[in-house]
């Protein structure tokens, strides 16, 4: 089955996270593991906040992400992956 990509309109990029995630994923694949920098975490945090989440610092270098009244503590890597999942779901 042929799929003509020119028939689809590209979604507009609205955040810096959307521009950076490809670079992050390439680095993860090259390294064979998910490793995030402080800058990567900040981009993911901005993305999550722009998409209705509240992000707070938590003990032990973790983040607390509050969405729709639910709160979840997670590692910084998990927060970046959560942002990636939300981005993928939006498309």
pLDDT tens per residue across span 29-71: 999 999 999 999 999 999 999 999 999 999 999 999 999 999 9
The pTM score is 0.84
Residue 6's pLDDT is: 72
In a domain, 19, yes or no: yes
The three-class DSSP label of residue 34 is: coil
Q: Is 37 a domain residue?
A: yes
Does 2 fall in a domain? no
Domains in the chain: how many in total? 1
Give the pLDDT band (50/70/90) at residue 1.
low
6-15, 17-26, 36-45: the lowest-pLDDT one: 6-15
Whether 8 is in a domain gets the answer no
Among candidate residues 87, 11, 77, 9, the one with its CA nearest the CA of residue 53: 87
- Report whether pLDDT(5) > 80: no
Mean pLDDT, rounded, of the chain: 91
In a domain, 39, yes or no: yes
SS3 67: strand
Q: Which phi and psi angles does 56 have, rounded to 5°?
A: -125, 155
pLDDT band at 16 (very low <50, low <70, confident <90, very high): very high
Q: Provide the residue range defining the domain that includes 32.
A: 14-90
């Amino acid at each position: 089955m042929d799929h003509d990509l020119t028939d689809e309109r590209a979604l507009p990029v609205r955040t810096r996270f959307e521009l950076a995630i490809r670079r992050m994923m390439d680095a993860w694949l090259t390294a064979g593991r998910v490793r995030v920098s402080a800058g990567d975490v900040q981009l993911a945090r901005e993305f999550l906040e722009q998409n209705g989440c509240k992000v707070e610092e938590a003990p032990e270098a973790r983040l607390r992400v509050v969405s729709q009244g639910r709160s979840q503590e997670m590692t910084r890597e998990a927060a970046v992956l959560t942002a990636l999942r939300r981005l993928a779901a939006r498309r």
